[in-house]
Amino acid sequence: MLNRNFIIILTLMILLLISSEGIARGEQMISQKELIEEVESSLRAEYYVNGDSLISIMDKMKELKIPGLSLAVIDNFEVVWAKGYGIADIETNKEVDVNTIFQAASISKPFTAYAAMKLVQENKVELNKDINTYLKTWKLLDNNFTETKKVTFKNLLSHNAGTNIHGFPGYKPYDTLPTLDQILNGVSPANTNKVIVDIEPETVNRYSGGGYIVVQKALIDITGKPFEEFMQNQVLKPLELQNSFFSPKALTEEQKLNATAGHYSDGSKVIGDRHIYPEMAAAGLWTTAEDLAKFAVEIQKALKSDSGKILSKQYTQMMMTPVLNGEYNIGFGNEEYNDEPFFEHAGGNEGYACFLTFHKEKGYGFALMVNSSSQIDILFPLFRSIDKAYSWGLFNSGIYNSDNISVPELQRFVGRYKVSFDRSIQFYIKNKKLFYKMSFNMGSELTPVGSHTFISSDRNNKIEFSKELNSIIFNNDTFNKIPDEAILLENFITGNDIIGAQKWLEEQESLKNLTVNELEDYFNDIGYFLISNSKFKEATFYLKLNTVLFDNSANAWDSLGEVYFFSGNYELSIETMKKALVVNPQNQNAKQIIMKAQKLLENE
């Protein structure tokens, strides 16, 4: 009879061997080397049609003009591999390796939340206590929104404090950097508005970088230490994250040797290499994909047992429990893939993007960092490749066979389908093929994979026409057919007919129940989506319409001023930003844009 302790030890050795050397598929053992090669060569879109070619990481990076990428994979509660790809800087051509650092952008927030939870565990902070109890030299002003519910650490860390400011643009290396109090008060040289509460706490989730700057201030006041020093000594060093640090200023010469430069989606480099983020709690972390993955593993292990290096199981569970409607917990967001629960956070600074996701219970996940604004287009193809290689079973989109449909049969699918009150999808025949397009996009060819089912040429969308051809299922959403002559807001874009659009909106009964903020935010979000895709004409239409509808909104004028600035119309940008300042004289972003536009005009 075998000794019980020997069996336990043997089992642990086998598990360690499997996780470090590879995984088993049926009776076959796949090595980590083979798994890495499979991940690297098998990026795929949402849908796969037999005969499609898979693409490698490097080829996808080239296609998307992503200079450098850092990747780390978690399996069986450990970082099984990490690797760098491409170059850190298009000017130096220095290669990215596993130790090359990137800006973690908003993934700084979970680290900040983790540090705050350490103070909770040490009884130095109460999550549900008024945050002003801990703030000494600056206070979050009370107003009518905080009469019945004061803002707490928990509110701020889980994005339901009602605080403003979504994110931060950062500062160029030669800019005068604001102090933390100047950022909080929204005074020059800060380039964002004052942090205030403008929604009643614990009523809605609204992502707020501004809230995390209040946390940064509170942690400094509680500990008496500079934020970057506190984070290094209390979190980064104990977790042995050797390539991670917070910084409120430009990198030292030594740090630059191992750092990437930021790049835009067109492949060009950020002026001055990178922006600086004194808003450290929200966006100031430098790190690697491997260190992000190590942080995730620490949380996974602590949730499983009391083996955490910093937080106990009790306090880790407290941190990772969904808050309010469940969109966020303390620090991380909550997501599901094929009904499997995940914790995750994404990030984006000027010229950088990153993503961290890991399973709540099963000990797997991955971290991705790029020195480019184009990360979103490589993220899910890479995620699917990792998922397939490691048999996680998260993406079950299936494999399709192309079908042949005659032109007369294709003609049946021609028409328009309403996707929202302002836009439609149009299907049409071109070169004997079925195409579709939306308001802002070029047409895309559709591949038939069934009598009523089509896959887009980029393989990211599936369209299923109903038997009666009066509706479609576009991925998971159902849209109804409308007459070709139906008028939607999109019909006014071509002629830039703002007055016609305004009149049309006033006639829409279905919009009467929308609040002013909902409609303004909707148009503002569309405008910035279009700006990010260099659709400046369409973005200008939506943002200009916003100023007509909401002429007393500083944000509406500010956004229109930005699209003029980004499209190179500096005179109009200055004129528009001045209108934003009439509405809100404290609008620091408007002041900054005016200064930048004036300098650019002087240099023309």
| Domain residue ranges in the chain | 102-389, 401-482, 489-603
As beta bridge partners, residue 425 has: 417, 438
401-482 domain in CATH 1.10.1740? no
Measure CA 455 to chain center: 26
Q: Model-level pTM?
A: 0.84
Q: Give me 582's structure tokens.
A: 């009439």
Q: What is the pLDDT of residues 170-186, one digit of tens each?
A: 999 988 999 999 999 99
Rounded CA-CA distance 535/438 in Å is: 13
Confidence category of residue 441, pLDDT binned at 50, 70, 90? confident
Q: What is the mean pLDDT of the chain?
A: 92
Poorest-confidence range of 6-10, 297-301, 320-324?
A: 6-10
How distant, in Å, are the alpha carbons of 65, 262, 288, 402 from that of 90? 10, 10, 19, 40
For domain 102-389, give the CATH number: 3.40.710.10
Poorest-confidence range of 222-226, 334-338, 373-377, 415-419?
A: 373-377
Helix (H) or strand (E) holding 446: strand 444-448
Q: Which CATH superfamily is domain 489-603 in?
A: Tetratricopeptide repeat domain (1.25.40.10)
First to last CA, the chain: 87
Q: Do domains 401-482 and 489-603 have the same CATH topology?
A: no
Query: Are the beta carbons of 313 and 239 closer than 8 angstroms?
Result: no
Question: What pLDDT does residue 334 have?
Answer: 96
Q: Give me 406's structure tokens.
A: 């005659």
How open is the CA angle 512-515-521, to the nearest 5 degrees? 120
Poorest-confidence range of 154-158, 245-249, 295-299, 597-601?
A: 597-601
Query: Are the beta carbons of 528 and 535 closer than 8 angstroms?
Result: no
Rounded CA-CA distance 354/373 in Å is: 9
Query: Are the beta carbons of 73 and 374 closer than 8 angstroms?
Result: no
